[in-house]
Amino acid sequence: MKKMTLLLLLVNCFSIDMLSAQIAPVTASSADIYQQLKKLNVLGSVLYIAAHPDDENNGLLPYLAKEKLYRTAYLSLTRGDGGQNLIGPEQGIELGMIRTHELMAARSIDGSEQYFTRAYEFGFSKSSEEALRVWDRVQVLADVVWMIRSLQPDIIIARFPPDARAGHGHHAASAIIANEAYIAAADSTKFTEQFKYGVKPWRAKRLVWNTFNFGRTNTISDNQLKMEVGAYNPLLGKSYGELGGEARSMHKSQAEGRPRRRGEVFEYFAHVAGDSAKTDIMEGVNTNWSRLTQKKEMTLVGSDGKETPIQLSSEADITYIQHAIQEIIDQYDFKQPDKSVPKLVQLYRRMYSKLPPGPWRIQKLKEVQEIIEHASGLFVEAFTQQETALKGDSVRVNFFVNKRSDVNATIRSMRFVGGQDTVVMQTTEKNKNYQYTRILVSDKGPEYTQPYWLRKTKTTDGMFTVDDQMDIGKAWSDPVFSVIFDIEVEGAHFQIQRPVMYKYVDAERGELYQPFIIVPHVEIYMGSTVILTNVKDEKGINRADSVLHVVYRSNFTEQNVVASLNIRQESVKPVFSREKRNFVKGQRQIVDIPISKVYNPAAAAQYMEATINIVPSNGRTLNFSDYFKSIRYNHIPNISYAFRDHVKMLKDEIKVRGKKVGFIPGSGDMMPEALKQMGYEIKELGDADITDDNLQQYDAIVTGVRAYNLNEWLTSKYDVMMRYVEKGGNLIVQYNRNQGGVAAPKIGPYPFQISTTRVTEEDAEVRFSIPDHPVLNFPNKINSTDFMNWVQERSTYQAEQVDGRYLSPLSMNDTGEKPSTGSLITATYGKGNFAYVSLVMFRQLPAGNAGAFKILANLIAMPKH
């Protein structure tokens, strides 16, 4: 008799419920339950692969998941870290976390699952060669192979082709990796280290490319496989085009709001590898229960070490299961779903004893259990009324159960994952609340909450560092703490796992759930990301801030705590040592330190970090150097993460002219902070502030990134803005975009078009087309060194078809492309000046590039005429 260990953890770790555990507990309508029942009889799976959040086909995924009822998953190679952000100032890994949750929200709408590789989106790339060079090609391939072997999809769909038609390098690279992974996943000699985690080689039936017609690129043709996916689902009350529009609109940081499409929608597929198909992507795939028919005997070894001998699924067993499901569907009572529960329990028992180990066994058992929970009207949750705790704190957690049906159910026990059972043996009555309070001692796990891919420092530009193989692929970290409820339903035991959530009532939004998080005792950060130490005005007076602002925030309350604060550049310099200080939870303390006392301009390292050491009453010395930051938007759960905050010191001389600058916010760049560092008095301007009289007080007005896209009122203020320039003001407009279906904003005094042209090589040569242009000479002399060490890219959404009255002082291009002059254009208009700047100042200023500060100072100081 063959013995096999059942690796329940393997597939459970990829459960969509666990990956989206930060949202409110899921409930289901009677129509939802019926849809779930129909899905029980379908054993087909699809894996969709692309490069970024928002690359997925939001019309196709809900059709596959909710019409064809396949297990459907989207694997995004990156989290979209290098994109742009419409809704706030977050960039880099912070934007990646936002976009991760936006994808998870989209999947909760279309019924699919969400996964990622370890690849970091380092910015727009024009070639797959660059993408695969910056990413670790082998690691990304290994991650995709791991997901294929874990999910065992029947069909793999690539979103893009492996060439220029893909649009850019990341897209093409995702297709190249998909093709290589399709082959490697089936090869028992490739990535053999994965096999010890329970996966095995897997060959999908076929790999296809979901062709498209985007803008000027039409890759569809009549000889391709064609499917109509816009059907209307009366159980949902929506078409799949409507669901797709809703899912797509969750990509709010990318301005991806879309209409709910109705009517016919056709998708096309080109064959790439494996068996070809003519009428349907699942052609030739057995998607019913007979695919699991086996005639072997083996022993299942559970996580508790107990062995259960089973006769694996014979043809009779499989026929029984399939007929039992169909009988439940046929007899389903939409008014009383709970009538189906006894037969569902019988079905679960039969499936548990007869199905062979593997993804389908665990997936179908999971599906049946969820249907039993929903049909029984079970509402189960674990929550606390505090959002945060320190490691080691005792936290009051509420366990809540309500059975809203006539099903026989008993609460047998409850326990924290990793803890001891609390035996209850409570028989439940219909619609009666059962609430229990237990104390959780948060002494296990990490020191504080951190997304798993950020727990280790990223050592390359293209990859996150993840050591635990079982984490790879997950959309998000597992909950910090979870509770297992052992509930007996119609005589069968079910373990229902729920995350411990923070639940509260908001006066505007009502009852809300957020992640329960572990925070450090103290978090510490600097007042600015960049400090300019040598800013000179026209009189040679230094206008730079001479004080370093250090902020520490307490997450606990205690009096007379011994504390020390240190600043480190190359050496450690104490600010205060072993002083007794009072710490109050939620209170911030600001320490102002003269820069001259801690900063060494001659040191090789021009970064400064702050560290605070405390000795609380328990006598244990604790050291803190991280800022524990929270990102909050209404459309996604709160995000908390820690990072080592530092400030970059810039000793370069930066000359400035003028004193007062008006700023019109856009999509959240850090321009105001940069202007303040340069010594300007900043005033944020809104609609009511844009008047002829009010604008005359400003030496310059700067608009934020995409300000004209986000503030419709700017179009109506065009004449006022032009009169401001005409009377001697300088108007500096950072990049905007042309948005499909929306009239291009009127921005400059003379015509020009905003293109999609960009220069993505951050080290691309910058040529001075007009060397004597004021922007390159006054008050700062700009030379090639000012374009060294730029990050991610040079420019984006450049000006094209430019009126002859504009000047273009800069020329640049990516390797192999023609020079472009639209990264910076200026024009005199009356007594003042206008500039459109597609140079990515919004990335360079926070990165502390001195050249970007100098160019900004020169733009503000453009001479009056």
Examine the pLDDT at 842 and tell me if it is beyond 90.
Answer: yes
**Which pair of structure tokens corresponds to residue 549?**
């602002």
The pLDDT value recorded for residue 25 is: 86
What value does the mean pLDDT take over residues 708-719? 94
List pLDDT tens digits, range 184-193: 999 999 999 9
What value does the mean pLDDT take over residues 688-694? 97
The pLDDT value recorded for residue 9 is: 33
The pLDDT value recorded for residue 299 is: 57
The pLDDT value recorded for residue 238 is: 96
Examine the pLDDT at 220 and tell me if it is beyond 90.
Answer: yes
What value does the mean pLDDT take over residues 163-174? 94
Burial state string for 75-98 with b = 16 or more CB within 10 A and e = fewer than 16: bbbbbbbbbbbbbebbbbbbbbbb
Examine the pLDDT at 774 and tell me if it is beyond 90.
Answer: yes
**pLDDT above 70 coverage of the chain, percent:** 95
Compute the mean pLDDT over every residue in the chain, rounded to the nearest whole number: 92
Label residue 16 by pLDDT band (50, 70, 90): very low
Q: Strand 660-664 and strand 799-800: pairing?
A: unpaired
Name which of 19-23, 490-494, 728-732 the model is least confident about: 19-23
Strand-pairing partners, residue 484, are 415, 497
The pLDDT value recorded for residue 446 is: 80
Label residue 216 by pLDDT band (50, 70, 90): confident
The pLDDT value recorded for residue 297 is: 53
- Apex 550 CA angle, 545 and 555, nearest 5: 155
What value does the mean pLDDT take over residues 668-690? 94
What value does the mean pLDDT take over residues 465-476? 97
The pLDDT value recorded for residue 4 is: 34
The CB density around residue 331, as the number of other CB atoms within 10 Å, is 10
DSSP 8-state code for residue 200: -
Q: Rounded to an integer, what distance in angstroms lies between the CA atom of residue 847 and that of residue 530? A: 8
Label residue 711 by pLDDT band (50, 70, 90): very high
The pLDDT value recorded for residue 296 is: 53
Q: How far apart are the first and last CA of the chain?
A: 94
Q: Strand 388-390 and strand 517-519: pairing?
A: parallel
Label residue 8 by pLDDT band (50, 70, 90): very low
The pLDDT value recorded for residue 302 is: 54
Kindly list the structural domains of the chain, giving each domain's residue range(s) and its CATH number in brackets, ordered by start. Answer: 45-287+471-476 (3.40.50.10320), 288-371 (no CATH), 378-445+480-516 (2.60.40.10), 522-650 (2.60.40), 655-860 (3.40.50.880)
Examine the pLDDT at 310 and tell me if it is beyond 60.
Answer: no
**Which pair of structure tokens corresponds to residue 661?**
């600058």
Residue with the two structure tokens 């419920």: 17
Strand-pairing partners, residue 548, are 593
Strand, coil or helix: 856: helix
Examine the pLDDT at 312 and tell me if it is beyond 90.
Answer: no
Examine the pLDDT at 549 and tell me if it is beyond 50.
Answer: yes
Label residue 782 by pLDDT band (50, 70, 90): very high
Q: Rounded to an integer, what distance in angstroms lies between the CA atom of residue 421 and that of residue 409? A: 18
What value does the mean pLDDT take over residues 94-102? 97
What value does the mean pLDDT take over residues 766-788? 97
How far is Cα of residue 437 from the mean position of the Cα atoms in its chain? 34
**Which pair of structure tokens corresponds to residue 747?**
């921005």
Describe the strand order of the beta sheet including 547-554 as a list of residue ranges.
522-526, 547-554, 588-594
Examine the pLDDT at 12 and tell me if it is beyond 50.
Answer: no
List pLDDT tens digits, range 727-750: 999 999 999 998 766 678 899 999
Question: Do 859 and 806 meet the contact criterion of CB atoms below 8 Å apart?
Answer: no
Q: Rounded to an integer, what distance in angstroms lies between the CA atom of residue 274 and that of residue 156? A: 10
Q: Rounded to an integer, what distance in angstroms lies between the CA atom of residue 774 and that of residue 778? A: 5
